[in-house]
C-alpha cells in the first residue's frame, strides 16, 4: 500500500505539557514537531498551541488490514512560571495525555513535577467518579519526563531520587538538545492510543486534497508540516491558528 493513500482512521490526541519554568517543555515540543532546537528560547507566556500529524505506517499496525492511521496531536505547551499556574487546569481538562516535565539536574523541578502529578491524579479520580464508564477516549494518561539528559555525565547517577508517589507513573528521560529519548517517549504515547480513540475517516470531512510532506523516522511516518499558534513571546504568535514552523 502506498502512503499517497489517505488515512482510513483518525484519532485526535489532546496533549498538555506541565512543569516548572525552564525545564524544557517548549524545547521538547519543538524537537518533536520540527526536529530542531533553539538555544535562545524565551519563556512561554500563558500557553502555546501546536498541532502535528503522525501517520502510522503498516509495520506499526498489529493487523494486515491495509489501514493507514493518522494521529492528530493537539499540543498545549503551558507556561511554567508560577503566575500562570491558575490557568493550567483549563489546559489539562479534557486532555488525553499529560507530559509532566522536570529537569534531571534540578531536584526542585522534580518536587514541582510531583505536585503536578498529584493534582492530575485528583483530577482523574474526580473525573472517573463523575463518569463511571470511562473509556480511553476520555481518560488522561500521565507521562513523567526528566529532560536535559545531555547535562548528566555518565559518572553521575541517574538524576534525582524519585519520591514514592511517582513510582507508578511511566517515566522517560530525554534531551531536547540532542533529541535523545524523544522518539521513545512519543512512540510510547502513540502505542498507548487505543482502537476506540480512532474514528473512521468516512465519518469525517477529511480534506482529500491536502498535501503532506512525509518522512520516515523510526517506523513512523512523520508529517513535517506542524502548525502552531499561541502566545509564546519568542515567536510572536498572538492568536491560535495554523502556520508553518
Ligand X SMILES: Nc1nc2c(ncn2[C@@H]2O[C@H](COP(=O)(O)OP(=O)(O)OP(=O)(O)O)[C@@H](O)[C@H]2O)c(=O)[nH]1
Q: Give me the residues that bind ligand X (CB under 6 A), please.
A: 19, 21-27, 39, 41, 43-44, 79-81, 147-148, 150-151, 175-177
User: Shortest Cβ distance from residue 231 to ligand X (Å)?
Assistant: 11
Measured CA to CA, the distance from residue 206 to residue 63 in angstroms comes to 23
User: Across the chain, where does the E strand assignment appear?
Assistant: 9-18, 44-56, 69-78, 97-103, 141-147, 170-173, 199-200, 214-217, 220-223, 227-232
CB-nearer residue toward ligand X: 153 or 209? 153
CB-nearer residue toward ligand X: 51 or 147? 147
CB-nearer residue toward ligand X: 33 or 79? 79
User: Shortest Cβ distance from residue 195 to ligand X (Å)?
Assistant: 33
Say how many residues make up the chain: 245
User: Shortest Cβ distance from residue 196 to ligand X (Å)?
Assistant: 32
Three-state secondary structure call for residue 58: helix
Q: Give the Å distances, CA to CA, from 221 to 44, 51, 69, 168, 216.
A: 29, 15, 10, 31, 5
State the residue for C-alpha cell 510531583.
114
User: Shortest Cβ distance from residue 128 to ligand X (Å)?
Assistant: 29
Question: Grid coordinates representing 31?
Answer: 524537537
CB-nearer residue toward ligand X: 69 or 112? 112
User: Shortest Cβ distance from residue 151 to ligand X (Å)?
Assistant: 5
Three-state secondary structure call for residue 215: strand
CB-nearer residue toward ligand X: 85 or 137? 85
User: Shortest Cβ distance from residue 13 to ligand X (Å)?
Assistant: 20
Residue 159 has φ and ψ, to the nearest 5°, of 100, 180
Measured CA to CA, the distance from residue 17 to residue 154 in angstroms comes to 28
CB-nearer residue toward ligand X: 16 or 79? 79
CB-nearer residue toward ligand X: 166 or 177? 177
User: Shortest Cβ distance from residue 174 to ligand X (Å)?
Assistant: 7
Measured CA to CA, the distance from residue 203 to residue 209 in angstroms comes to 17
Contact (Cβ atoms closer than 8 angstroms) between residue 56 and residue 219: no
Measured CA to CA, the distance from residue 234 to residue 72 in angstroms comes to 25
Amino acid at each position: 500500500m502506498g502512503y499517497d493513500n489517505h488515512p482510513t482512521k483518525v484519532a485526535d490526541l489532546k496533549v498538555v505539557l506541565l512543569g516548572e519554568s525552564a525545564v524544557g517543555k517548549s524545547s521538547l515540543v519543538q524537537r518533536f514537531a520540527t526536529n530542531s532546537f533553539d538555544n535562545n528560547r524565551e519563556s512561554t507566556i500563558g500557553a502555546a498551541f501546536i498541532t502535528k500529524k503522525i501517520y502510522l505506517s503498516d509495520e506499526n499496525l498489529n493487523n494486515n488490514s491495509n489501514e493507514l492511521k493518522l494521529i492528530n496531536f493537539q499540543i498545549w505547551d503551558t507556561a511554567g512560571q508560577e503566575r500562570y499556574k491558575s490557568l493550567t487546569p483549563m489546559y489539562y481538562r479534557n486532555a488525553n495525555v499529560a507530559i509532566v516535565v522536570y529537569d534531571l539536574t534540578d531536584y526542585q523541578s522534580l518536587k514541582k513535577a510531583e505536585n503536578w502529578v498529584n493534582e492530575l491524579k485528583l483530577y482523574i479520580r474526580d473525573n472517573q467518579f463523575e463518569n463511571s464508564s470511562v473509556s480511553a477516549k476520555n481518560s488522561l494518561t500521565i507521562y513523567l519526563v526528566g529532560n536535559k539528559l545531555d547535562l548528566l555525565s555518565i559518572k553521575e547517577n541517574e538524576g534525582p531520587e524519585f519520591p514514592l508517589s511517582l513510582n507508578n507513573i511511566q517515566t522517560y528521560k530525554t534531551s531536547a538538545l540532542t533529541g535523545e529519548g524523544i522518539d521513545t517517549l512519543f512512540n510510547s504515547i502513540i502505542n498507548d492510543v487505543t482502537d476506540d480513540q480512532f474514528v473512521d475517516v468516512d465519518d469525517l470531512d477529511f480534506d482529500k486534497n491536502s498535501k503532506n510532506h512525509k518522512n520516515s523516522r523510526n517506523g513512523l511516518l512523520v508529517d513535517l508540516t506542524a502548525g502552531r499558534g499561541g502566545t509564546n513571546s519568542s515567536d510572536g504568535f498572538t492568536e491560535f491558528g495554523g502556520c508553518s514552523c
